Structure 1
């Protein structure tokens, strides 16, 4: 595949103008594409659009920490260093990395609807994805995840927040996974979905609007490096079974909802 590469570093302080918009093109837009968005502190919103390019809106906000708000003994003032954003295109993958330890960097990214997508927030912030039909990998360390009107396969983990997903349709028979440590996991599937469910929550409930068949609880060894560690999972099927959908939670509920055909 033809390979293109470019990089952009924004280091101009965004004092009077707190917003910047960038546009990036794939080397081969008619081939499979992939978009990766990462930030440390800030929210990431991804929306599908009809264009083949990727549009990134960057909004900078100050982030006060105990260190930054403490007056200096020498009367010197800290100078705002502004945005720190890199944008690369390589092998039909566009990667945007943003953020620093002392600022919130919000990203709103518009991508082709069928593009694959990876979104990661390693510090604090929420993630919203709307209308994407490609494969999605979504991770938030301290924030919630909301996926709306998606149709591609999903692997999503919200460590310290809730996870909600609403599927417009399901176009791929690959496995999916949804997990959280301290928030509810709520996923809405089309009524005709066929899947095998593997579910576990340590301190919550499992709730479903579907009629689940073949509910079986079994112990599995999930240990590594030769160690034994048994965990209990509940298995069930929807509409006769299909690809495996994994649901895991520690202190929240797992809610599986049915989307009616009349839902807009």
Structure 2
């Protein structure tokens, strides 16, 4: 019995690692239950996906529950009979992914060959660091903690989240609905092609920094926007307009940490809950 306890302690102290090689023509699904090294402390989920999306849901348990759904890369199958210098192409549909836990941090790394989606359940008090690159939507519900999301080609929807959020994408909308926020901490929401739609608790105190190059700003908060400052610089017969700042600033509540919102092609919508 003593040997078994030492063995379990040693096992929990190490990273729990799965590396799976999959060969399939149809979607492949597998479930994993990942125990935490310190189940009574707040953990962190870190996800890095090359192609695919991630859905994270908070629940009342103390483990991280993971469902992986992989779809082999089918690009080029229609050209499988094409030869290269007389050699026939053999379709390569293998995939690999990694799931690991170390010191209360759970790591998920997706395959570079084919689409891999993940559905994850985490304790409701948990921090998230989520990154997707291609065709990767991000959805989060019922989680409170430090949340960072980077979805390069995909939108994100964060519903009933608490704590702090830093969200960035290039192609996609950003939608966030806060149940609560951590006071005194700055946040940022940025996209290039898409809307930024954020719902805050009515008692939020913050300084809003906003910029929409080709869109509008809407809100039901009681605020007065400070417009950009400009000046004219005379250069011969053609005065040159110099814009000092293209940002719009405004306080909600009593003011406070800076919340930044920016989009190039889209609107900014700030809602009061």
TM-score, structure 2 as length reference: 0.83
* Contact 2:225 2:248 (C-alpha < 8 Å) held by counterparts: no
Q: Determine the C-alpha separation between the residues in 1 that align with 2:147 and 2:119.
A: 16
1:255 deviates by: 0.7
Match of 1:135 among 146, 156, 164: 146
RMSD after superposition: 2.1
Residue 80 (structure 1) aligned with residue 90 (structure 2): no
Match of 1:38 among 20, 42, 48: 48
1:76 deviates by: 4.3
Change (3 A) 1:97 1:231: farther
In structure 1, the partner of 2:4 is none
Q: Determine the C-alpha separation between the residues in 1 that align with 2:198 and 2:99.
A: 32
Larger radius of gyration: 2
Q: Determine the C-alpha separation between the residues in 2 that align with 1:27 and 1:111.
A: 14
Match of 2:120 among 88, 109, 123: 109
* Contact 1:3 1:92 (C-alpha < 8 Å) held by counterparts: no
TM-score, structure 1 as length reference: 0.86
Q: Determine the C-alpha separation between the residues in 2 that align with 1:3 and 1:238.
A: 46
- More off after superposition, 5-14 vs 202-211: 5-14
1:172 deviates by: 4.0
Q: Determine the C-alpha separation between the residues in 2 that align with 1:215 and 1:230.
A: 13
* Contact 2:26 2:72 (C-alpha < 8 Å) held by counterparts: no
* Contact 1:186 1:255 (C-alpha < 8 Å) held by counterparts: yes
Aligned pair count reads: 246
- Structure 1, unpaired ranges of 5+: 220-228, 260-264
* Contact 1:157 1:180 (C-alpha < 8 Å) held by counterparts: yes
In structure 1, the partner of 2:226 is 215
In structure 2, the partner of 1:91 is 103
Q: Determine the C-alpha separation between the residues in 2 that align with 1:141 and 1:124.
A: 8
1:37 deviates by: 1.2
In structure 2, the partner of 1:201 is 212
Match of 2:265 among 248, 251, 261: 251
1:127 deviates by: 0.6
Match of 2:201 among 181, 185, 190: 190
Match of 2:36 among 26, 33, 36: 26
SS at match of 1:94: strand
String of CA shifts for 1:97-154, please: whole Å, max 9, x gaps.
1122x41101001111111101100222111011110110001111111000101200
- More off after superposition, 108-117 vs 89-98: 89-98
